[in-house]
Amino acid sequence: MEQINVEIDGTSCTGPKGSTILDIAKANDIYIPTLCYDPRMEPYGACRLCLVEVEGARGLLPACYAEATDGMVVKTTTEKLERIRKTLVELLLSDHDMECQGCAKSGRCELQELANRYGITESPFVGEKHEYVEHVENPFVMRDYNKCIMCGRCIRICREVQGVGVYDFINRGFKAIPGTPYDKPMQETPCEFCGQCISTCPTGSLKAKPYEGDGRVAARDMLRNACAFFKMSEEDMMEALGLQGWKVRTTCAYCGCGCQLDLHVIDNKVVEVTSPKMVGSGQGNLCVKGRFGYDFIASDERLRKPLVRKGKKLVETSWDEALDLVASKLSGIKKKSGADSIAVLSSARATNEDNYLIQKFTRAVVGTNNVDHCARL
């Protein structure tokens, strides 16, 4: 791919032809603030926080939208740019609750991060504020429009990535919000409850309801609030407090796509599932099962020991007795009805090695090709 050279803040940077200014800046670890940008979607250029000065341009250009050209000279931070960005953040905060310590997104809120960056504790712009009732009618997505900044990311990811289009801007002027048609409950829309809108929301406007009811989640949110206040990382804070908790990178076991997951673990229990953006085959996108379907890990109904049926009851037994019983039953069925009367279904929650052995056992020992896998179904 043809490469171009761009000078950004006095640093010579290279990138593929056709890249935006923001793409090249990010590839070279140069910070440009954004709020409406998500790498999974097409550039939008609505928040204007990524405005930059380009030598020879008639005005300021949005870095997320403007294509970089060979020999371009860019300035990402000047007194004028910082003044504009601070004013934009102040305008957003003029209709936004500043009590961040009570918000579950505190510590990982993009608007809060920008407010801290520009030293904004309150907005100088005073006027009417929205007062919306939080939408909690469905079991997956909680919507609090009092924290919405109208970035449009939830609308675009539902339309461009998920291909559903549940959201759009409704109403006009001061009353405009990203809502559902005729403000219907999400259960009455084509919503798949994948949580993609939650994953892209830069504030606490959209939250995952299944994870909000866990006391461990509340404790984690308090921890994140403390991290934001003391400007410490979660790892350093937990180490300082002597708490056990971590984030585990793993692969989703529900299908064969191989989406990457970050399991947020507290006290040896998964309390939230997220996906790292632009990593793995999923690129940060998950389905409803991948994002919310992890109750089985700590379920009381999960089998932990082999059971055999004796009379009308299932009773615990040893692995030797259970395997002997399975072997004798399979042998009897094969002798009576033939190998093709047996079928084996494997699981994505087992390891690759286990699944290899299962198909080998089915073909070489049982003698049938009737073997399938839940990830294909």
Q: Are strands 61-62 and 260-266 parallel, antiparallel or unpaired?
A: unpaired
Q: Which of 77, 108, 137 marks a domain boundary?
A: 77
| pLDDT at residue 242, rounded to an integer | 64
> How many Cβ atoms sit within 10 Å of the Cβ of residue 55?
10
When computed from its CA atoms, the radius of gyration of the chain, rounded to whole angstroms, is 26
Output the domain CATH number for residue 271. Answer: 2.20.25.90
Contacts of 83 (CB under 8 A, 6+ apart): none
Determine, yes or no, domain membership for 192: no
Q: In which domain, by residue range, is 313 found?
A: 307-376
Residue 343 DSSP symbol: -
**Are residues 296 and 267 in contact, defined by beta-carbon separation less than 8 angstroms?**
no
Q: Which of 12, 45, 77 marks a domain boundary?
A: 77
Q: Which of 268, 302, 336 marks a domain boundary?
A: 302
Q: Are residues 283 and 330 in the same domain?
A: no
Q: Are residues 294 and 328 in the same domain?
A: no
Determine, yes or no, domain membership for 39: yes
| pLDDT at residue 264, rounded to an integer | 85
Determine, yes or no, domain membership for 333: yes
Tell me phi and psi for residue 3, to 5 degrees: -105, 145
Region for residue 284 given its phi and psi (left: phi exceeds 0; alpha: psi -120 to 50; beta: otherwise): left
Q: Are residues 311 and 280 in the same domain?
A: no
Distance CA 236, CA 98 (A): 26
Helix axis angle for 234-241 and 215-230, nearest 10°, is 110
Q: Are residues 288 and 315 in the same domain?
A: no
Distance CA 372, CA 364 (A): 15
| pLDDT at residue 256, rounded to an integer | 75
Q: What is the pTM of this model?
A: 0.84
**Structural domain count of the chain:** 3
Helices (runs of H) and strands (runs of E) counted in the chain: 11, 16
Q: Are residues 288 and 313 in the same domain?
A: no
Determine, yes or no, domain membership for 124: no
Determine, yes or no, domain membership for 55: yes
Q: Are residues 327 and 354 in the same domain?
A: yes
**Are residues 244 and 267 in contact, defined by beta-carbon separation less than 8 angstroms?**
yes
Distance CA 126, CA 309 (A): 71
Determine, yes or no, domain membership for 184: no
Q: Are residues 68 and 24 in the same domain?
A: yes
Q: Are strands 206-208 and 141-143 parallel, antiparallel or unpaired?
A: antiparallel
pLDDT, tens digit only, all 377 positions of the chain: 799 999 999 999 999 999 999 999 999 999 999 999 999 999 999 999 999 999 999 999 999 999 999 999 999 999 999 999 999 999 999 999 888 877 878 878 999 999 999 999 999 998 889 999 999 989 999 999 999 999 999 999 999 999 999 999 999 999 999 999 998 999 999 999 999 999 999 999 999 998 876 655 666 666 666 776 777 776 677 667 666 567 889 998 888 788 999 998 877 888 889 999 999 999 999 999 999 998 888 888 888 899 999 899 999 999 999 999 999 999 999 999 999 999 999 987 788 899 999 999 999 999 999 999 887 76
Q: Are residues 285 and 334 in the same domain?
A: no
| pLDDT at residue 241, rounded to an integer | 64
Q: Which residue has the tokens 């998920």?
A: 162
